[in-house]
Amino acid sequence: MASYNKIILVGNLTRDPQMSYLPSQMAVVEFGLAVNRRWRGPDGQQREETCFVDCRAYGKQAETINQYLAKGKSVLIEGRLQYDTWEGKDGTKRSKHRVVVERFQFLGAPTGPRQAAPPGRAPQPAEQGEAAEPAPPPEEAPGDDIPF
């Protein structure tokens, strides 16, 4: 029997990413994601529910997420669902699902690491808090009197 475990979410971080390292020195970052669902109920009223999801990323992705994302920032996450079980301090069995991030994409206005540009890329005027110059109007092409 074939299996498929893929999840794609778009939401906002509920807390700042928390970075740690495995004994192998691989970076691990954990963060929470709030995903909203809006719909209109049978009575015509607008409804909304929020799903809170724990996420985890490893390696270079973990370092990038830790550097550029913060509470409230929007992100698209693509990953797989993982089920964790453990025994609590009081001896009870505990469990939860989390998303292991395989790919992600920043959404919204780029702000960079704590308001700075990513390495290897010069900041754009709009990112520096200045107004960007509007693009000049396109020049009219010669022979614009074509009748069709």
Would you list the domain boundaries of the chain? 11-38+46-114
Task: Tell whether the model's pLDDT for residue 138 goes beyond 50.
Answer: no
Q: pTM value? A: 0.69
CA distances from 65 to 23, 101, 112, 119 (A): 20, 10, 11, 14
Question: What is the CATH code for 11-38+46-114?
Answer: 2.40.50.140
Mean pLDDT of 111-125: 48
Task: Tell whether the model's pLDDT for residue 111 goes beyond 70.
Answer: no
Q: What is the mean pLDDT of the chain?
A: 82
* Phi/psi of residue 60, nearest 5 degrees: -60, -35
